[in-house]
Amino acid sequence: MTAIMAGTRAEMLRLRRWPALWVMLGVWLLLNIIFDYVFTYLAYRNGGGFASEGVSRERLLAGLMPDAVPEAVVQGMPMFGGAIMLTLGALAAGSGYGWGTWKTAFSQGPGRLTVTAGTLAALACVVVGLVVVTFAVDLGFASTLATVEGQSIAWPAAGDVAGAFGGGLLILGMWTVAGVAIGTLARSPALAIGLGAVWVLVVENLLRGAGTLLDWLQPLTDVTPGTVAGSVAAALGATPVSDEGGTPGVVTNLSGGSSIALALAYLAVFAVLTGVLVRRRDVN
């Protein structure tokens, strides 16, 4: 345990000094602000537009208020947040092979699995910090907009905040560990990022579209990682893409309990797969 903690501190030091980390986290926060608040507020002021056709101004305004922050936080995570965190995980694992750092760490460190556990723990800290900052940013924007529009500020219920916080950790954590697994499998950050991004942004959407036409494919599309993440977000109040003003990636294919169980299973499988690959394969 001491070795894992030391590895976590070392990995946190590497990540903090890594410009790519701050760029990707900044991109997520920017996308979160633009899609959750900027576009929605412009649609509210202009009476529609920005993928909000058919949504009443009252509903648009309600979605901008502080009590709607838990839903706003998670609604972009299944697709956009997932793609960014998968990229981060793939870079964190794949770059070590490209730079040769894993070869040194695995041969001189406390052990391959210990080093890998430290990397996963450090990335877990990043995910926790990102969800906390996302909540803070969204609450700040929502409070500002409520003041500008002369609305009373009603804070979200503690239970809703706790649920969204846990759901955000689960969604982003699952995608991050998936990125680590892909980066370890490919042993190349560029290839891992390409495979992961294509899967999250393209393949899963195509499979869900085909699943509506092919009955035999539907059971498979219902349990893919993206569908699982989207169902978790929908269970927490995010608007499904099938509804007016819905968010891409948010779906209702699975119930809340089933989607959470499958997300935990995926997280465990990706972590175990990473450990098996690190332990059994040569680092060259």
Give pTM, 2 decimals.
Answer: 0.91
What's the whole-number average pLDDT of the chain?
87
What dihedral do alpha carbons 82, 266, 203, 117 form, nearest 10°? 60
Output the pLDDT for position 14: 84
Query: What are the helix and strand counts (H, E) for the chain?
Result: 14, 0
pLDDT mean over 155-165: 95
**When comparing pLDDT for 115 and 134, which is higher?**
134
Output the pLDDT for position 282: 67
* Cβ–Cβ under 8 Å, residues 260 and 232: yes
* Cβ–Cβ under 8 Å, residues 253 and 221: yes
Read off the pLDDT band of 26 (50, 70, 90).
very high
Which two structure tokens, joined as six digits, stand for 37?
Answer: 């608040």
Q: Is a pLDDT exceeding 90 seen at residue 231?
A: yes
Closest to 257 in 3D by CA, of 239, 273, 234: 234
